[in-house]
Structure 1
Amino acid sequence: MAAIKPCKSLALCPKYVTLMTFLISMGAVSLSSSLAQDGVHMAEGRCRESERRALLAIAADMYDPFNDWLSSWTAADCCTWRGIACDAATGHVTKLDLRFPYPDDVGNIDASTINPSLRELQHLQYVDLSVNNFSFAGVPDAVVSLPRLQYLNLSGAMFAGAVPPQLGNLSSLRYLDLNGCYGDLHANELAWLSRLPYLRYLDMSCVNISEAANWLESINSISSLEVLHLQWADPPFLPQTLPHFNLTSINVLDLFGSLSINTSVIGWLSNATGLEHLQLSSCGGFDIRPLQSALGALVNLQDLDLSANDIGGEIYAIVGNVSRRLRMLDLRWNKLTGDIAQTLSSLKHLEVMTLDNNQLSGQIPEMVGELSSLRSLTLSSNQISGRIPQSIGKLRLLEDIFLSGNNITGKIPASIGNLTNLIFLFLGRNAITGPVPVTIGNLLNLQQLYLSDNNITGQLPESIGRLKNLQALYLQNNFITGPIPATAGGLQSLRRLHISSNRLSGHIPRGMGTLCNLEYLDLSDNRIVGEIKDLINGLSRCPQPMRLFSLHLSDNNLNGSVPPRLGQLTELSEVYLSSNSLVGNVTEAHFSKLAILKFLDISQNNLQVILRDDWVPPFNAFTIGMSYCRIGTHIPSWIQTQTLLQNLYLSRSGLEGRIPAWFSHFNPQGWHYLDLSSNNLSGPLPVVSSVDQSIINLSNNSFSGPILPSFAAWLNPSILTLSDNIISGKFPPFFCNMTFLEVLDLSNNGLSGEFADCLLSYPKSLQSLHVNNNSLTGQLPSFLKQCKQLITLDLGENKLFGEMPQWIGRSLSSLQVLRLRSNLIHGAISPQIADLTSLHVLDLANNNLHGAIPSSIGSLNAMVTVQNVMEPLINSDAKYYSEHVLITTKGSTIEYSTVLSLVTSIDLSNNELNGAIPHELTDLHGLHFLNLSNNHLMAKIPSEIGAMTQLESLDLSMNNLTGEVPANLETLNFLSHLNLSYNNLAGRIPTSNQLQTLNDPSIYIGNKGLCGIPLAECPNNKRASHGWTQEDDESDKLETILNVTIIIIGFVVGFWGFVGTLIMKERMRIVLFEFIDRMQWRLSLKFAELK
């Protein structure tokens, strides 16, 4: 039985409301005097011997774990015993209080019984048997035979069976508590309640009254009733017509968890005008309109709890109608909407406001500072935006602020330091910026501070060390920089410190080794440097009992050795030191007293693990991680002692040779995670067993031979990675029956033959299939069309043949990566390829595809828009598996993993494709890599190619493309690789800032008509920089002919002016005819060039 924990406020503890209301309504003093008037006196007196013997018989059957609860029951006068009171005049026992006195140990109570001698105490008026363990016995008959009883408390005492209707005979009862939340009581009828006319307090919480048809009529008959608790009593549904309201004295009404409460009951309750405390949480749902009307009638209401009722609509419909006396309001876990500013302005007298987990919006207004009575403000998990106003610092009574899980921006106001009564400050999961204010150090009563998952920057203030009462500090997932303040050593009450995933630097302060109350320490994923010896050695010297059970220091820049005194931290259950620069040896001394260690990860350090093979660890762990450590050449024999082991990480740990025989019989419960990857293990694949949805990674070894059925006999993994081995034989048929399989990687092996036939059974959960670089034959397996969740399909570098099936587009709508390169696939690319609207990577290179590129390729939606969200393609923890794909671009093959979701690529190179490049292809504005080289593509490069602004690589080489290089290539600012070689392109190469950086002549080689930088200058360099056109060329020819003709005419006209002289003088005649011969040769040459 769990311990009953004390509650810190009325708002959060209905049981506390019960107790306080009873004390208010009856009063401790009033109750005492009331009972005294009926003959109950607390003064000492001589008890009767018969009643003394009866009490001793009762005590003998009660469990007293420390032998001190009933130690006073030895004196001669039983009226002096603990829990006993007598009538001063008669000596009769009037009070028996056997409530278990150690509530913190209530879970350890052994069985007690009620001795029948109880019935001999006929003058009892007060009986309390609560918080005991009566082993699900029935309510004792002796209890109902005490006619003078006014107070009866059987709550939490593990009674079971039917509530005896004879309780109705106890007509003097004022107080009856049958709370059965630790037992199994039920009541099939409640008519006996009508025989208790003086009853003022009734608690039947967790008593099953689902068969009590007239429950409301029976309770309604008790006009004296002031307090009623029916939490989780499961009352039956009520008719629309209800009895006349008779509970005129009702002050507290608690129907928590009563699903039968309907609209008519809400209206009926509006008659309870004296009601001060109303608890209707978790009653299944209310319509807001009748609720609004009923609340308006409850003018004395002080506490209202309507949480978890699926109430929708404007919150103001409720808060606008509640009593102005309201002090506590709980509307959490509903679907209420509306502006938080208007809500707050209506509730100026509230002390406790709990509105979390709704759909409230707007900003917290400055007027929040007017809620001067407010002690608790809970607005978590809404849609509240804007800044936290400075005026919040006026709420000097505030003890709790819960604003987590909203859209709050801006800085934490410095005025927060005025709230010196603050105990809880929760601002996590928002968008808060700026540093933690220095004034945080004024909150000397603060016990829990949650600022995680924000955008907090700057260094932690030194003043944080003043928070002497702080028990929990959560700052993870921010952008906090600088060192951990040296004053952190002053947080001597700190139990939980979580500052992971920030940008902290510097050393771990020496003073943190003195935080002896620390239970949980997480500094992982930062940039912390230095050694850990001061921290470990300091904590190991804390006085017993030590408290630290969880130590997370992974993913930092820590160096030095691991102190052997780590083994003295006797309460350690979790040790995470992975991904640092730790060096040295890890020996048996490091684990000497870690008897309860369950999680150990020292992976990715430069550590040498020196442990004897016959070593028997003091612990029995669930997880052991020693990847990247030097552990020897074989799997350590001491692993066999870890019978609870579920997760084993030994990647890159220097293992060699065959896996030992014992390993196949080890871990009969089955692996959750087994990683032996990147070693030099050889021989056949080991036989291992795993639980459902396990992760098995045996990649990058030298395992050989076929995958035998025995390997899969006890496997049903979600991720199975056997890549980069020497595995041969056929594709394993067991794959078809792995119902939980999400990822299968058999790439880079020697598998041959066709795919297994999975038509009757197939892996329905498959998301990623990598079988690239094997020697598989046959057609694409048709069972894949049943794998609707498939995201990555990589069958590249095999010998698959046949046409691309049309079902790829119709059936695999979730596909994001399709890689079939380097196979023997032929036929046309189906227009249905456009149905793959999520496709990021399409690689069909090095096949025998023919026909035109379908115009529908421009409808690949995931490539139309720019991808800005970096998220894993496969929904798995990156620690266990990160999706990866080989992409050939820019002349090399690169494996993409972390940023794969941002990559978009189309590679159709080295096929037999023909026709024009479809203009629709240029609609893929988010495409990064495009390779259409080595095909038979014709016509011009689409002029719209400049719209593909994300292109980084463009390869159109070795085709039959004609026309010019489009001038708008200059708009491709990200283009870093271009290949247009070996086409029929002509004209001047465009010049721009971007293209000028691509100055390798091989980009354009094999295009005879191209000229300009980086090729040879174009003829007549005075031409416009945009290059020649056909019209320019024809104009040049005409100009040349006209020039030559003019020369000839001029020559003829001048000839006869000298002819006579030439005829008369021989020397001039010889010179003239030599000139004519030379001119004739030049003209012939010029006309030849023009032709």
Structure 2
Amino acid sequence: MAAAGSGSFQDGRIASKRLMMLVALLLVSCCLGHGFGDEDHVEVEGIGSSCMESERRALLAIKSDMYDPDNWFSSWTGKDCCGWRGVACDNTTGHVTKLDLRYPDTYDVRDISDIMETMGGSKVNPSLQELKHLTYLDLSMNNFSHAPVPTMIASLVHLEYLNLSNAMFDGPIPPQFENLSNLHHLDLHGWYDDLHVDDLDWLSRIPSLKYLDMSYVDLSKATNWFYVINSISTLEVLHLIYVDLPYVPSRLPPFNLTAIATLDLSGNFIITSAMLSWLSNATSLENLFLSGCWSLTIESLQVALGALSNLKGLDLSDNSLEGEIREILNNVSSRGLKHLDLRSNQLSGDIPPGSLRDLEYLDLSGNSIVDVHILASLGNLTNLRHLELWGNSISGEIPPTVGKFVRLEYLDLSSNQLSGDIPPGSLRDLEYLDLSTNLIVDAHILASLGNLTNLRHLDLGGNSISGEIPPIVGDAVRLEYLYLSYNGIIGKIPQSMGNLSNLLELHLSGNKIVGWIPPSIGNLTNLVMLYLSSNNIVGCIPKTIGTLIHMKVLYLDDNQISGKIPETIGGLQNLQVLYLDNNFITGEIPATIGGLRNLLMLSLSNNLISGPIPETIGGLRNLQMLILKGAELPAWLQTQTQLTTLDLYGVGLSGNLPVWFSNFTRRLHRLNMSSNNLQGRLPSAPQLMLDLSNNSFIGPIPPSFVISTGLSLLSLSHNRINGSLPPSFVICNHFRSLTYLIIT
């Protein structure tokens, strides 16, 4: 018993010691990590990082000033900020080291001015400087409403990655950014010269920079740009697109960019032969972009290109280079080059035989190439995936060698003078094919679609294709875009067209198509745009049209469609444009059209419609264009003051202009009230396009007409106008936009 008791006592002492050691370790940990009594550190159950309370509060303050229409910050709840979207922490210290606030929706930066009108503004909250341990910061693609670039970012001295691109900042880049000496990646891509730098000296104090993008930042006063950039020997990627670089003297310093792999100086006009000769030392260069420099000549390029043996990508587009293509390519290494863009020059000739065997991307569009042999000379480029030759003057039949492009995914030969057909059994990987605006006449080219099983985009518009659409078109089930407009296609729309369930756009306008619209059109449930204008289509609009819930644009005008507009048209809840004019549609307009709340443009004119226009259409507050030729004028029209286009041709208006007409004068851009029986004085507020012909207006032209210098069309013919023209009315320069003037 004694022995047993002694053992229990001993075990108790050991357990007690272990507990004391554990407590001691915890106290030491607290002392070393934060000091006694520090309540800033929030412990989280389980293994992983935890979050500093002060940094969590800073993040919430930052969030409060960010535009968030889609609840992007929904994960920013709870105590552990290290698990929030766009936030990362150091696993050991718990400090926030990464903050990615890049606006999550993608958009084309070329349309950024339009985006700015719809994207809400954000602010950079001062609490950002509390995140002193940040190594990664991304604020790109937001709308900071032309605010200055925050100088406080310069206090985040641990930053290695900084991205402020396309964030709509304005003003100078703070020279205090020289404090960010640890930066490896710096992206300041601006928005059309809103940002500027007058002296780049601060940049030389960031010695380890590998990636630099200052595109669209005004550098026109930074005369030291060349010497500063050349001093950063670690640079691997440099983008200086459209920065208005100042002139560089011909005496240049020794080449120091020994690590440079990608260089983009596009849109600058001072690329001299001396600079190109200096650039020939960049033996590590893999990608060179000199688009839109204009000062380039083939002769000045030859020396540099001949020395750059590691080139994989070369862009010399939009430079008005004159001469033979081979004069450029003779000095480019025949091995290794994968991307070549020579579009929008004045080049002719073809590709030298045996060259560029590794090429995957080739753009020769918008040049002066005339010989179809260019396609034959490309036959050896078996690795080619992307080929553009649009906008030349290439004539002749498409050669069989096109079939050798076994890996080709994208082919654009539009706007040439080509004829013939696609070689049978070829181009099985093709996803994009554009042969529009050529001289193709045989509808047999459509039969080849059954073999192009990967095709997503087909454009054969603007040719002279005759014959019927073959049912085999329905086998191209991956098609998303089908353009066959403005040919001579006859026959009916095949029922098999309904098999193209992935179709987003179908363009068949301007042909000689007959028969009914097949009910199978309702199977195209992804369709967004349907163009069937200017054909000979007869019969009723199928009721199945109402299943196309994603439809935004519907053109059925200028046909011989009869019967009533189906009630099911109200199912097109996303419809924005509806053209049904110039048909033989009968009956009343269904009230369900009034449920198309997104409708912007509505044209129902020149039909056999009876009865009043339903009052529900008066509720379409997004409507901007309304054409009601030959229809009974509804009373609710006077409330549609949001309209920008109003066509009331021949609707039976008589007497003086309605009193409510003045409600339209602020927004209306196009007004047609011709062929009525309007009387009285002319209106005093002309629109940008105004047609008041074939009425009974009297009196002189009011002097107020001379105020509207934006007037582009004015027709007052066949009225009873008298008196002389206002003196300034005859001064041609006054109406700078006037294209048509008819007063007879």
TM over 0.5: yes
Matching residue's letter, 2:61: A
CA separation of 1:602 and 1:237: change in aligned 2, threshold 3 A:
same
For 1:471 and 1:373, how far apart are their aligned partners in 2? 25
For 1:763 and 1:67, how far apart are their aligned partners in 2? 48
Other-structure match for 2:222: 212
Alignment partner of 1:238 is 2:218: no
Unpaired segments of 5 or more residues in structure 2? 1-45, 108-114
1:530-557 deviations in Å (ceiling 9; x for gaps): 111x1xx323245xxx322221111112
Question: Which among 686, 691, 709 is matched to residue 690 of structure 1?
Answer: 686
Shift of 1:719: 4.9
Conservation of the 8 A alpha-carbon contact between 1:46 and 1:91? no
CA separation of 1:208 and 1:521: change in aligned 2, threshold 3 A:
same
For 1:548 and 1:356, how far apart are their aligned partners in 2? 33
CA separation of 1:515 and 1:327: change in aligned 2, threshold 3 A:
same
Other-structure match for 2:607: 605
Conservation of the 8 A alpha-carbon contact between 2:379 and 2:405? yes
Of the structure 1 ranges 78-87 and 395-404, higher mean CA displacement relative to structure 2 is found in 78-87
CA RMSD of aligned residues (A): 3.4
Alignment partner of 1:564 is 2:567: yes
The 5 Å alignment of 1:275-290 reads 275-290=285-300
For 1:368 and 1:114, how far apart are their aligned partners in 2? 56
For 2:177 and 2:698, how far apart are their aligned partners in 1? 79
Conservation of the 8 A alpha-carbon contact between 2:342 and 2:363? yes
For 2:141 and 2:551, how far apart are their aligned partners in 1? 33
Question: Which among 394, 406, 415 is matched to residue 404 of structure 2?
Answer: 394
Other-structure match for 1:596: 598
1:355-380 deviations in Å (ceiling 9; x for gaps): 11111221144343321100000011
Other-structure match for 1:639: 637
For 2:594 and 2:236, how far apart are their aligned partners in 1? 62
Other-structure match for 1:1016: none
Other-structure match for 1:492: 501
Shift of 1:523: 0.6
Shift of 1:560: 1.4
Secondary structure in structure 1 of the residue aligned to 2:217: coil
Shift of 1:594: 2.4
CA separation of 1:180 and 1:55: change in aligned 2, threshold 3 A:
farther
Other-structure match for 1:168: 178
Other-structure match for 2:666: 669
Alignment partner of 1:334 is 2:334: no
For 2:278 and 2:675, how far apart are their aligned partners in 1? 72
CA separation of 1:645 and 1:571: change in aligned 2, threshold 3 A:
same
Shift of 1:674: 3.9
For 1:677 and 1:195, how far apart are their aligned partners in 2? 71
For 1:562 and 1:101, how far apart are their aligned partners in 2? 43
Shift of 1:402: 0.8
Conservation of the 8 A alpha-carbon contact between 2:132 and 2:158? no
For 1:148 and 1:767, how far apart are their aligned partners in 2? 65
Conservation of the 8 A alpha-carbon contact between 1:556 and 1:579? yes
Conservation of the 8 A alpha-carbon contact between 1:740 and 1:764? no
Other-structure match for 1:71: 75
For 2:284 and 2:396, how far apart are their aligned partners in 1? 40
Instruction: State the structure with more CA Rg.
Output: 1
Matching residue's letter, 2:575: L
CA separation of 1:713 and 1:376: change in aligned 2, threshold 3 A:
closer
Shift of 1:58: 3.2
Alignment coverage as a number of residue pairs: 683
Other-structure match for 1:24: none
For 2:572 and 2:143, how far apart are their aligned partners in 1? 37
For 1:210 and 1:385, how far apart are their aligned partners in 2? 45
Matching residue's letter, 2:662: H
The 5 Å alignment of 1:88-487 reads 91=93, 93=95, 95-100=97-102, 102-104=104-106, 108=119, 110-116=121-127, 118=129, 121-122=132-133, 124-181=134-191, 184-324=194-334, 325-336=336-347, 338-340=348-350, 342=351, 346-363=355-372, 364-409=374-419, 411-415=420-424, 418-435=426-443, 436-487=445-496
For 2:128 and 2:673, how far apart are their aligned partners in 1? 69
Shift of 1:503: 0.9
Conservation of the 8 A alpha-carbon contact between 2:537 and 2:559? yes
1:285-317 deviations in Å (ceiling 9; x for gaps): 312211122111111111001112222222221
Matching residue's letter, 1:91: T
1:6-32 deviations in Å (ceiling 9; x for gaps): xxxxxxxxxxxxxxxxxxxxxxxxxxx
The 5 Å alignment of 1:720-869 reads 720-723=714-717, 727=720, 730=722, 732-734=724-726, 737=729, 771=744
CA separation of 1:282 and 1:75: change in aligned 2, threshold 3 A:
same
For 1:766 and 1:283, how far apart are their aligned partners in 2? 36
CA separation of 1:441 and 1:695: change in aligned 2, threshold 3 A:
farther
CA separation of 1:121 and 1:55: change in aligned 2, threshold 3 A:
farther
For 1:586 and 1:389, how far apart are their aligned partners in 2? 53
Shift of 1:397: 1.2
Conservation of the 8 A alpha-carbon contact between 1:285 and 1:311? no
For 2:76 and 2:136, how far apart are their aligned partners in 1? 20
Conservation of the 8 A alpha-carbon contact between 1:530 and 1:558? yes
CA separation of 1:569 and 1:72: change in aligned 2, threshold 3 A:
closer
Shift of 1:97: 2.9
For 1:765 and 1:163, how far apart are their aligned partners in 2? 44
Unpaired segments of 5 or more residues in structure 1? 1-43, 742-760, 772-1091
CA separation of 1:713 and 1:305: change in aligned 2, threshold 3 A:
closer
Conservation of the 8 A alpha-carbon contact between 1:559 and 1:580? yes
Shift of 1:72: 6.0
1:708-762 deviations in Å (ceiling 9; x for gaps): 648968788655555556x3x7464349715579xxxxxxxxxxxxxxxxxxx99
Shift of 1:217: 0.6
CA separation of 1:674 and 1:48: change in aligned 2, threshold 3 A:
closer
Other-structure match for 1:1003: none
Other-structure match for 1:829: none
For 2:683 and 2:67, how far apart are their aligned partners in 1? 55
1:176-222 deviations in Å (ceiling 9; x for gaps): 33333499433222223333333222222233222211111111111
Larger RCO of the pair (alpha carbons < 8 Å, separation 6+): 2
Shift of 1:354: 0.9
Conservation of the 8 A alpha-carbon contact between 2:62 and 2:128? no
Other-structure match for 1:1039: none
Shift of 1:260: 2.8
For 2:703 and 2:154, how far apart are their aligned partners in 1? 68
Alignment partner of 1:618 is 2:620: yes
Secondary structure in structure 2 of the residue aligned to 1:539: helix
For 2:222 and 2:61, how far apart are their aligned partners in 1? 37
Conservation of the 8 A alpha-carbon contact between 2:270 and 2:295? no
Matching residue's letter, 1:559: S
Other-structure match for 1:553: 556
For 2:739 and 2:152, how far apart are their aligned partners in 1? 66
Other-structure match for 2:534: 525
CA separation of 1:689 and 1:221: change in aligned 2, threshold 3 A:
same
Alignment partner of 1:586 is 2:597: no
Conservation of the 8 A alpha-carbon contact between 1:112 and 1:132? no
Conservation of the 8 A alpha-carbon contact between 1:414 and 1:437? no
Other-structure match for 2:57: 56
Conservation of the 8 A alpha-carbon contact between 1:232 and 1:256? yes
CA separation of 1:554 and 1:762: change in aligned 2, threshold 3 A:
closer
